Structure 1
Amino acid sequence: MTVPEGWLYENTPDNTARFVLGTVGENPLICVGVNPSTATPLKLDRTVTRIARRAAKNNYDSWIMLNLYPQRSKDPDGMHTQYLPELKAQNEKHIAELLRGRSVTLLAAWGELIEKRAYLPEMLDGIAQIAEQGSCGWMSIGSPLKRHHPRHPSRAPYDTSLQSFDMATYLRTL
């Protein structure tokens, strides 16, 4: 697939994993979800459409979708039962290159889906360490859920404000 101008799209050659999807800008809202579904620059899904709208509503000039685990699956139940170390390494490499030590806003947005696979907290920890190198700030959509997870973008009304999210404390609760 040829990536349209103004878009970011990084995936595996066979398209079974996606690392980055978003638009180019100086002040992006960078969302971290659980896993990518089928969205591409030419065909957005509900989650990334909501991220794009939320970014615009909150005065970001662009948005980027990252994920804890890059395997494409329409349903998180379809993710690998054991993670593939090479996918974890590729995902972290793409995220580190994207962040490049910048101080940007990351939106924690996985909801209770983080409980779908036992390895997902480990994936989050690796990403949080990369983000910490750039002094990135974490936000969530409204207050955390009952089990302390940040809300998923498709399950929160647009008028729900972004608020600071304490990633260090959250990681200790997982």
Structure 2
Amino acid sequence: MEKSAILSTDRKYRYVLTRIWDETKPTVLFIGLNPSTADEETDDQTIRKCIGYAKRWGYGKLIMVNLFAFRSTDPSLLKRVEDPVGADNDSYIQKYISESDLVIACWGNQTKLLNRDKNLMDMVPNLFCLQRNKNGTPHHPLYLSKDITPVPYN
């Protein structure tokens, strides 16, 4: 599998993570809340779960971007960081939305900060999710069944 990532020079922000296993197949873009530990070499549990979905759905390339590019295993830190979004994040999100065959929202229910979820939904006319939380937000992939298929989100 070909692995790559675009991070800030200080590695505090991850803008894009890419995994390619079959370049002849379409691309799926997952949009999460914020990056954790995955990088150009290492997969975390969320990335492994998303790769599994992408393979089962017939895709050959996964791209992961996030509403907030600040890397942390604790999403509550996003409220205390001066710039949780990251200087280049929106340009990367827009670029990869336009290059993907399917866009999946999977940021969970902690998105009220800066209205990032609303801003992103305006960028993507055909946004899908794995499943909705009770409050209507797109479910995070980690604790969902491996056998689900995407459903329209907006």
Asked if these proteins are the same fold (TM beyond 0.5), I'd say: yes
- CA positional deviation for 1:125: 3.3
| Residues 56, 154 of structure 1: alpha-carbon distance in 2 compared, 3 angstrom cutoff | same
2:109 corresponding residue in structure 1: 112
User: AA paired with 1:30?
Assistant: L
Q: Which has the larger share of helix?
A: 1
Among all aligned residue pairs of Structure 1 and Structure 2, give the percentage whose two residues are the same amino acid.
Answer: 23
Q: Residue deviations 1:115-161, cap 9 Å, x none?
A: 4xx21x2x2333334334xxxx211113x121011110002110122
| Larger relative contact order (CA 8 Å, sep ≥ 6) | 2
Conservation of the 8 A alpha-carbon contact between 1:92 and 1:126: no
> How far apart are the structure 1 equivalents of 2:121 and 2:4?
21
Question: Equivalent residue for 1:150?
Answer: 138
Alignment-derived partner of residue 171 in structure 1: none
In structure 2, C-alpha distance between the alignment counterparts of 1:84 and 1:36, rounded to whole Å:
14
* Structure 2 SS opposite 1:84: coil
Correspondence 1:139 to 2:128: yes
So what's the TM-score if we normalise by structure 1?
Answer: 0.76
The corresponding residue for 1:74 is: 73
RMSD over equivalenced CA pairs, Å: 2.2
Unaligned runs of 5+ in 1: 167-174
Q: How does 1:37-76 map to 2 (within 5 A)?
A: 37-76=36-75
What is the deviation of 1:19?
A: 0.5
How many residues are matched?
Answer: 151
1:45-83: CA deviations, max 9, x gaps? 000110011000111111111100100001101224365
Code of the aligned partner of 1:138: L
